[in-house]
Structure formats: C-alpha cells, structure tokens
C-alpha cells in the first residue's frame, strides 16, 4: 500500500474535474489519483457536483422520430452479436496506467536522454500549453539549484527525493512556484524516477544548466 503525504489542492482537482487544465497538468492529476484514494475521492465529489449542476440546467427538448426506439434496439442487438475481445490485463509497473499510455509500455520502454550529471529525462507528447517529462535521478544525486517562472509539479514514481528537509516518496507531489528556489536531492536508497510538469521554464542559478537549457527544453 502506498502512503501518500503530499497531495494536490482542491483548486487543481476542481480544474481537472472541469477539464480546464493543460494536458500536461491533467496527466499529472490522472497519474496521482490513480495511486491516491484520497484525491480520487475528492475528484469524484467534484464530478458529482458538476453533474448535479448540469441536471439543473434547462435543456431544450428534442422530439424523436417514431422509430427511434426500434432503431436503437437494433443497434444494440447488432453490437451484442459480436462481443468485443477482452483487453489484456495490464501488468504491474512503476508507471501508473495514465503514464503507460503515454510511454507506450512500462519503464523499459522509456526513451531516456541524458541531461548531465547522470540525470536523464524523457519528454512526453502533450499540448504546448505546458510540458511533461519523466526524470531519472541517480540515488544520492542532486538536481541543479533552480527557481521557476511558472508552476512546477513533481510526482515521485520510484524511490524518493529530499527537498528542504522534507521527504517525497512514491505518489507524493511537490508543487513549486516563483517563490521557491530549491535543490532536490534523490534519496540514497535507489534511483528516483519522477513525473514533472511545468507551464514555464526553470530558472537555473549556475552557468552550465543555463547554457544547456534551450537544448534540453527545460
């Protein structure tokens, strides 16, 4: 059982329920709630509220043709004659189901690219409104000191990282904004794999990361 101590805010979950988040942030929420019972229950409650609002909205009625029911039943019968083949069971993985769909498989299918100091990344295909990437940080290694021009959400999928004395393990999400400068360090137990989403570039403090930033798209 995964113990999660750092959750997403109601504002983020409500925006996800209302389908107003950029694709990358929606992927973050979907990945988190696939592991977090608490946040998944909150999303379901927001969905229920939204459904109730829709039910109370006045909708123009449309008159159906006299054979509409018969035609619908015929379509149902035709579909029932050829049941869909069962989908193969998804095997256990470090990557929750939403991420497996983006990667096209499990961890071994990730196309990693080195970004220096042993750190690797894989940029995921999402809309241009925000970016999503998988990060692999070697055990004990530190990310370069950086700030943010927007929001950065980082969710742990394997291992853990330490930031400002707080430990983030599997399922935990750290949310950073323009007020936070930090240097996350992977825990020494095992390599850390994270999902990170951003809606603005990072602001690195040292020269080498600044030079590499345009090429690495971070």
Residues 6+ positions from 150 with CB-CB distance below 8 Å: 177, 178, 198, 199, 200, 201
pLDDT, tens digit, for every residue of 159-196?
999 998 899 999 999 988 766 676 788 999 899 999 99
In the block, residue with structure tokens 């904004």? 177
126 and 27 Cβ atoms separated by less than 8 Å = yes
Domains of the chain (ranges; CATH) run: 1-88+95-218 (2.60.120.10)
pLDDT, tens digit, for every residue of 94-132?
999 999 999 999 899 999 999 878 889 999 999 989 999
41 and 10 Cβ atoms separated by less than 8 Å = no
End-to-end Cα, the chain, rounded Å:
33
182 and 128 Cβ atoms separated by less than 8 Å = no
């Amino acid at each position: 059982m995964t113990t999660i101590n750092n959750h997403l805010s109601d504002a983020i979950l409500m925006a996800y329920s209302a389908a107003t988040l950029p694709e990358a942030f929606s992927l973050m929420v979907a990945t988190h709630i696939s592991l977090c019972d608490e946040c998944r229950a909150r999303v379901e409650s927001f969905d229920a509220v939204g459904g109730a609002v829709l039910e109370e909205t006045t909708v123009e009625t449309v008159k159906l043709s006299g054979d509409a029911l018969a035609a619908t039943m015929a379509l149902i019968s035709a579909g029932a004659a050829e049941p869909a083949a069962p989908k193969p069971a998804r095997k256990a993985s470090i990557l929750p189901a939403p991420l497996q769909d983006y990667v096209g498989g499990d961890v071994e299918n990730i196309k990693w690219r080195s970004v220096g100091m042993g750190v690797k990344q894989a940029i995921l295909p999402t809309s241009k409104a925000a970016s999503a990437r998988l990060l692999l940080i070697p055990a004990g290694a530190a990310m370069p000191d950086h700030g943010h021009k927007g929001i950065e959400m980082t969710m742990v999928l394997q291992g853990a990282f330490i930031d400002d004395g707080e430990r983030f393990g599997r399922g935990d999400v750290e949310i950073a904004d323009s007020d936070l400068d930090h240097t996350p360090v992977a825990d020494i137990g095992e390599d850390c794999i994270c999902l990170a989403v951003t809606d603005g570039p990072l602001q690195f403090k040292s020269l080498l990361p600044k030079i590499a930033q345009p090429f690495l798209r971070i």
